[in-house]
Amino acid sequence: MDNKKKIPTNTITRDIKTLAAPTGNIYESVVVLYKRANQIAAAEKKELNKKLEEFRNERDTMEETFENKEQIEISKYYERQPKPDLVAISEFENGEIEFRIAKKEE
């Protein structure tokens, strides 16, 4: 995820017509946003788990887990990141998401 973009960390009221414009249907736009947000969330989770894997130890106790400052800082960093749905909406509004709609066979 490119954190250089200005993505709000809170919810913003948006016009439904502008969200529906790229697909022509608000429900199709929501599906596109849903799928992209899931992709972003999965990528973030994979990245976080990879970073936290370094701290895992077979013999960790609860006290050692809570005292690891680097692990806590990594977790806090990911908590401060914009939520995947907000990132997906920002990408959608900026035309950065490519999608195609399956045609119905007649």
Q: Is residue 76 part of a domain?
A: yes
Q: Is residue 71 part of a domain?
A: yes
Q: Is residue 40 part of a domain?
A: no
Domain count, the chain: 1
pTM value? 0.76
Mean pLDDT of 79-104: 88
Q: Is residue 31 part of a domain?
A: no
Q: Is residue 25 part of a domain?
A: no
Residues 1/87, Cβ–Cβ less than 8 Å: yes
**Sign of the Cα pseudo-torsion (31, 6, 93, 99, in order):** negative
Q: Is residue 104 part of a domain?
A: no
Question: Which residue segment(s) compose the domain that 50 sits in?
Answer: 45-99
Tens of pLDDT, residues 38-78: 999 999 999 988 888 877 665 555 555 556 778 888 888 98
SS3 for 100?
coil
